[in-house]
Chains A and B, each alone.
Chain A
Amino acid sequence: MEVAQETLTTPAPTTAVEVSGSVALLEALIVEGVDTIFGYPGGAIMPIYDALFDYNDKLNHILVRHEQGGIHAGQGYARTSGKVGVVFATSGPGATNLVTGLADAQIDSTPVVCITGQVFAHLLGTDAFQETDVINITTPVTKWNYQVTDANEIPEVIAKAFYIAKSGRPGPVLIDITKNAQIQKFNFQGYTKCNHIRSYRPKPIVRTQYVQEAAALINQAKKPFIIWGQGVILGSAEQEFKAFVEKSGIPAAWTVLGAGAIPTEHPLNVGMLGMHGNYGPNVLTNECDVLIAIGMRFDDRVTGRLDKYAKQAKVVHLDIDPAEIDKNVKSTVPVWGDCKETLPMLTKLIEEKKHTEWLNTFNEYTRKEIEAVIHDELNPTTPEMTMGEVIKQLNEITKGEAIIVTDVGQHQMVACRYARFNKTRSNVTSGGLGTMGFALPAAIGAKFGAQDRTVVAIIGDGGFQMTLQELGTIMQTGIDVKIIILNNRFLGMVRQWQELFNERRYSFVDIQSPDFVAVAAAYRIAGKMIDDRKDLPAALNEMLSTKGSFLLEVMVTKENNVFPMVPQGCSVAEIRLK
């Protein structure tokens, strides 16, 4: 068994130095390669902020407007940079405000390390001012959490936190540090990164036999179908995945979080899976003979009704998390492991093929979907604009090079369906948790994580009002985020369900909004509102060419529905085109 030892440490002090827990924490962050922290100060984290005052040149602290904004920004940063997002918050309300973001990061496997201040250790359990039991509150929504009450623990605990957050199936980690430990001076022996914890196995051992069995199934298949998820991106296995897809010649479809792992325009990329995914990928899931699932977890929004999901198919499931294998869909061959390792093994064993006829079946469905849905959504003849045509126009200008950050609801589904992605790590959205209010702060973080790229946040009028205070963060940092509000004056997705399943009983989905452009202006952010199609290209160009942030509000059709749709409780084969 290997024993943990990594050479990378802080310039090894010849003698231990006496530092505070706070200083040790910041030194640890620097060794971990942290350059950006999203945070908000408060009483119980003041010693850390005091230490941070002297680290201004090494650590860029972004003052957010709400801790939820902080953690969503950390998530956005992690998603575009591939690094760990770091978030600071104080005890009590500061920490509880992180919970939504933690749950979001947990379900979407986003590596985030949150540092929360906590009351003095001797006050724990006394209902002290701003004391809350953060460890127990966050246990269900963290991959790991730990309370530090003694400064001596800090180097080792922070090392573990980063290792756990980013290794294996990534996830959020929360470290709660009592105020006395932040102040306490101790002998700091330097910082050593962690690369091993004895009770923790980030990657299951690859079983060659299963890889061979999977290859045999794939080689015999007449109508194989690849469905991939974010695991490909989290494992940085895009190249390995592309090689596998191209050699096998198998049509491949993506989950929302997998989008962009191979370009939208790739000839074997047949589209999006799930409730609002494309027609072919959904219908043909129930016609393929071998279903190859890679780094995805068979979420109910992808599978629809499980007892009618791909029952005819043999299932090959590649996943790094053994708990995902057979959780929702029983696999014929489970390929445990990191797909960056297992995909090349598999590629080596499979025959080079072209499934031309089978691929044509997908293209035939695409043709039907264009006819029934896509054409009218992207080229509407209605006086009002559609969400789809806005995305189409945006594609024409960005050429698929932009990072698209979306919130949750109709605009999210439309953006995921129609946005072009040439590059990986370009689609940032709240997939599993469906967190409205995610997009604006996540877009800020996304830009900090990929400063050379254009970041466009696409947000609904409802979701924007959940976290619009982060416009303040944009104002203060001068970060360049383009914001498109697709305003349909409704909570559109709920309204769509009410229309389709609740006899148009529109219960509390009629939402009024402020003058968004005026709100932006109040934060000294340029903006524009358009409600006429002929202004769209110019407005998008103006937005993208303006230096700094820009808010573009586009008034779109009030009662448009996102189709196709697999109604809840239905099989993927029962997908509706209208």
Chain B
Amino acid sequence: MSNQDTEKQEFNITVYTENQIGLLTRIAIIFSRRKINIESLNTSPSEIDKIHRFNIVITESEEVVHKLVRQIEKQVEVLKAYYHTNADVIWQELALYKVSTDVIAEKVSVERLLRENGARVVVLRKDYTVFETTGHREETDNLISILQPFGLIEFVRSARVAIIKDSDGFNRKLREFERLEPGEEVIENEYLNQGEKVFTM
């Protein structure tokens, strides 16, 4: 076995699924059962209506990731699962930072901060300012260390979203898929909070 198979690195797992309640658990436990930590998880609609897309980031060896992806693909409501190294995807994370406006205005040149860190101001209020940056982990981390001395009030970073550099093939298949067999609407519980209208015993 080559080193590449056994050496741990970040992998981006992309999963196309039906939009089904409970599927998140079914996919998440494939990792937790094997005591593998999910570092980032994002679920969103895909380019195709009614097909959902999971982006999952884990640090593992390729051998393990390969087996995990097969277990994921085995699930009834999973259409397709892929894995890619960071080099194979274009990815971004979004981060928000809340800082006291007074401190910022007094001690730092906001304009310089924005310019140097590719950040933009989302909200500017008398009491606080919210900055936003988008980028790789190092980039969003960088602004934390810059803002920390000035009293970073709140920080949050989104899950990673990743686009596969070479994903044209599956897009066509997916579209064909949806054209031939359109997906169904999810039936959610319309009875919740209607207790008084329902007979019970």
Residues of A participating in the B interface, judged by any CB pair closer than 8 Å: 1, 3, 120-125, 135-136, 139-140, 143-147, 149-150, 153, 164, 178, 180, 183, 197-200, 321-323, 326-327
Contact = CB atoms under 8 A, between A and B. Distances in A.
16 contacts: A1-B177, A1-B180, A3-B180, A120-B191, A120-B198, A121-B192, A122-B191, A139-B25, A140-B33, A149-B189, A149-B191, A150-B190, A180-B191, A199-B77, A200-B76, A327-B67
A25 B200 CA distance: 21
B29 interface: yes
Given A3-B181, A120-B200, A139-B25, A125 B192 contact: yes
A125, A199, A200, A327 interface centre (most CB from chain B within 10 Å): A199
Contacts of B181: 1, 3, 198
Given A180-B198, A323-B67, A135 B77 contact: no
B31 to A, nearest CB: 12
A199 B76 contact: yes
A198 B20 CA distance: 13
B105 interface: no
A180 B79 CA distance: 32
Contact of B195 (A1, A123, A323, A326): A123
Nearest to A146: B22
Interface string B15-42: 0011001100110010001000000000
B22 A199 contact: no
Contact of B189 (A3, A124, A164): A124
B187 A150 contact: yes
Contacts of B192: 121-122, 124-125
Q: Which 7 A-B pairs have the closest CB atoms?
A: A121-B191, A323-B70, A122-B195, A122-B191, A198-B181, A200-B76, A144-B76
B2 to A, nearest CB: 13
Contacts of A200: 76-77
A242 to B, nearest CB: 29
Contact of A197 (B76, B176, B177): B76
B165 interface: no
A10 B78 CA distance: 31
A207 to B, nearest CB: 16
Contact of B76 (A164, A183, A323): A164
B145 interface: no
Given A199-B77, A323-B74, A136 B25 contact: yes
Given A147-B22, A322-B74, 11 more contacts: A3-B180, A120-B198, A122-B195, A122-B198, A144-B76, A149-B191, A198-B79, A199-B78, A322-B73, A323-B67, A327-B67
A198 B21 CA distance: 17
Contacts of A149: 187, 189-191
B142 interface: no
B173 to A, nearest CB: 10
A302 B26 CA distance: 28
A121 B189 contact: yes
A135 B67 contact: no
B46 to A, nearest CB: 13
B64 to A, nearest CB: 11
A326 B62 CA distance: 13
A377 B26 CA distance: 47
B44 interface: no
Contacts of A322: 70, 73-74
B187 A139 contact: no
A136 B22 contact: yes
B193 interface: yes
A124 B192 CA distance: 7
B194 interface: yes
B71 interface: yes
Interface in B107-152: none
Contacts of A125: 192
A451 to B, nearest CB: 33
A198 B195 CA distance: 36
Contacts of B76: 143-144, 164, 197, 199-200
A183 B199 CA distance: 10
B29 A140 contact: yes
A180 B18 CA distance: 26
A356 B194 CA distance: 75
Contacts of B67: 323, 326-327
A387 to B, nearest CB: 36
A139 B29 contact: yes
A322 B73 CA distance: 9
